[in-house]
């Protein structure tokens, strides 16, 4: 009798270990972000104005059809995950998602137009703020707990990797726009403090939900994206936006440094590629680019064209442009950014970024 009970317990443990490890024994990742990491969520939000569902988005990814990424190829999160041997997590709103898919691949909650603050990006009508993404992740933890039990579920989420990649929309699509209340309720210093107070609360909730190994991506020189240049009177980078990005990066780094020792088993890392992207924009030829101030996908002289459409004209060589559209880097630029972040995060022994597969959940078809 005792032998049978012991054998039954052993089988339960082995089954749980097998489920947690998945078919390849690798950890999974959970991504929280905006359009720089979105891989299909906004395409399934019926009312949002921020979608990447038309050509020529995705032209250099898999079958070349739009897949929800706001670029021609891979996102930075795609490339870092590939380089570190992690599976690409599908979008939370992908209809193929279930418990088994989550256990094998993780989840991407990123949403174009989303920000750290709930009020950010309201003119897109529909988007998932970081608070909303965390709420959805909470639902995910409850789903997996029902399947595995609390102990095995806790182990699964504590071994997973977490990416937080938001912040630029809180400036570009909130604070720096006079129509938003935050633009007159705060000054540059107090607004960054407000963001950090909010981000700290969000990180504490994520830790409570099981996040232990977490990376926060810093901001690049957002004053130099094509949209900011074309809206300036000189066509040059907007210095105030760039200074705000640097202030955000410094404050976020300090926040993680102060939080990590206070939280059980926390490994919170901050990394930004500001300096290298700034150098690419100033010296594009040094990095193999020929254009660092205009979008590859545009309507020619009709600017700003806020999205890439079938009516747009593409540049002759997409690998030579830093920016894909008015807001977002190209696949080539994302690869350069990812390599810099890999160095900043201290990853060792990583391989070269892999080319884009046909889909995020092999061997299923692409998201759309």
Position 366 in a domain: no
d(CA 174, CA 184): 11
The DSSP secondary structure of 253-266, one letter per residue, reads HHHHHHHGGGSTT-
Asked whether residue 21 carries a pLDDT value surpassing 60, the answer given is: no
pLDDT tens-digit profile of 334-367?
Answer: 999 999 999 999 986 565 565 555 555 433 333 3
Position 162 in a domain: yes
Asked if 26 contacts 86 with a C-beta cutoff of 8 angstroms, the reply is: yes
Domain extent, residue 160, equals: 24-345
Categorize the per-residue pLDDT at 6 as very low, low, confident or very high, splitting at 50, 70 and 90: very low
Q: Is 35 tagged catalytic?
A: yes
Position 2 in a domain: no
Q: Is 328 tagged catalytic?
A: yes
Asked whether residue 64 carries a pLDDT value surpassing 60, the answer given is: yes
| Confidence at residue 361, expressed as pLDDT on a 0 to 100 scale | 42
Q: Which of 78, 170, 278, 325 is catalytic?
A: 325
Taking Cα atoms as reference points, which of 66, 74, 73 lies closest to residue 40?
A: 66
Work out the percent of the chain whose per-residue pLDDT is above 70: 87
Q: Which of 207, 328, 330, 359 is catalytic?
A: 328
Q: How many domains does the chain have?
A: 1
Structure-block tokens of residue 192: 């960054």
Burial zone of 259 (CB within 10 Å; 0-12 exposed, 13-18 middle, 19+ buried): middle
Burial zone of 348 (CB within 10 Å; 0-12 exposed, 13-18 middle, 19+ buried): exposed
Position 257 in a domain: yes
Position 15 in a domain: no
Residues in the chain: 368
Q: Which of 35, 37, 330, 332 is catalytic?
A: 35
Categorize the per-residue pLDDT at 306 as very low, low, confident or very high, splitting at 50, 70 and 90: confident
322-341 as b/e, with b when 16 or more CB fall inside 10 Å? bbbbbbbbbbbbbbbbbbbb
Position 368 in a domain: no
Average pLDDT over the chain, rounded to an integer: 90
Position 7 in a domain: no
d(CA 32, CA 133): 7
pLDDT tens-digit profile of 245-285?
Answer: 999 999 999 999 999 999 999 999 999 999 999 999 999 99
Position 362 in a domain: no
Contacts of 162 by beta carbon, 8 Å cutoff, 6+ apart:
29, 30, 31, 32, 206, 211, 213, 214, 215
Radius of gyration in angstroms for the set of CA atoms belonging to the chain, rounded to a whole number: 21
Residue range 115-139: mean pLDDT, rounded: 98
d(CA 90, CA 68): 11
Residue range 90-99: mean pLDDT, rounded: 98
Which segment of 4-18, 206-220, 230-244, 266-280 scores lowest on mean pLDDT?
A: 4-18
Strand-pair partners of 32: 164
Asked whether residue 7 carries a pLDDT value surpassing 50, the answer given is: no
> What is the CATH classification number for the domain harbouring 162?
3.40.50.1110
Q: Is 360 tagged catalytic?
A: no
């Amino acid at each position: 009798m005792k032998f049978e009970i012991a054998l039954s317990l052993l089988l339960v443990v082995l089954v749980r270990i097998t489920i947690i490890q998945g078919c390849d024994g690798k950890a999974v990742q959970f991504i929280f972000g905006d359009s720089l990491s979105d891989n299909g969520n906004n395409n399934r939000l019926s009312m949002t104005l921020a979608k990447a569902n038309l050509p020529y988005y995705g032209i250099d990814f898999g079958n070349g059809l739009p897949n929800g990424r706001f670029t021609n190829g891979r996102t930075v999160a795609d490339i870092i995950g590939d380089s570190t041997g992690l599976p690409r997590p599908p979008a939370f709103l992908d209809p193929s998602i279930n418990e088994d898919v989550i256990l094998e691949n993780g989840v991407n909650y990123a949403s174009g137009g989303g920000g750290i603050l709930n009020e950010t990006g309201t003119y897109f009508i529909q988007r998932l703020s970081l608070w909303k993404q965390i709420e959805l992740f909470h639902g995910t933890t409850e789903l997996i707990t029902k399947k595995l039990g609390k102990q095995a579920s806790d182990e699964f989420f504590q071994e997973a990797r977490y990416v937080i990649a938001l912040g630029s929309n809180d400036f570009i699509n909130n604070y720096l726009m006079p129509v938003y209340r935050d633009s007159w309720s705060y000054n540059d210093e107090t607004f960054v403090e407000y963001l950090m107070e909010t981000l700290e609360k969000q990180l504490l909730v994520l830790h409570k939900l099981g996040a232990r190994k977490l990376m926060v991506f810093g901001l690049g020189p957002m004053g130099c994206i094509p949209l900011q240049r074309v809206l300036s009177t000189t066509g040059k980078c907007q210095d105030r936006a760039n200074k705000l990005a640097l202030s955000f990066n410094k404050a976020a780094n300090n926040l993680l440094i102060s939080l990590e020792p206070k939280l059980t088993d926390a490994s919170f890392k901050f990394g930004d590629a500001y300096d290298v992207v700034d150098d690419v924009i100033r010296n594009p030829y040094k990095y193999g680019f020929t254009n660092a101030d205009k979008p590859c996908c545009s309507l020619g002289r009709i600017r700003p064209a806020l999205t890439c459409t079938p009516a747009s004209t593409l540049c002759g060589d997409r690998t030579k442009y830093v920016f894909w559209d008015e807001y977002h880097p190209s696949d080539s630029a994302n690869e350069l950014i990812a390599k810099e972040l890999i160095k900043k995060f201290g990853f060792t022994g990583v391989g070269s970024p892999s080319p884009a597969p046909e889909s995020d959940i092999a061997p299923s078809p692409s998201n759309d």
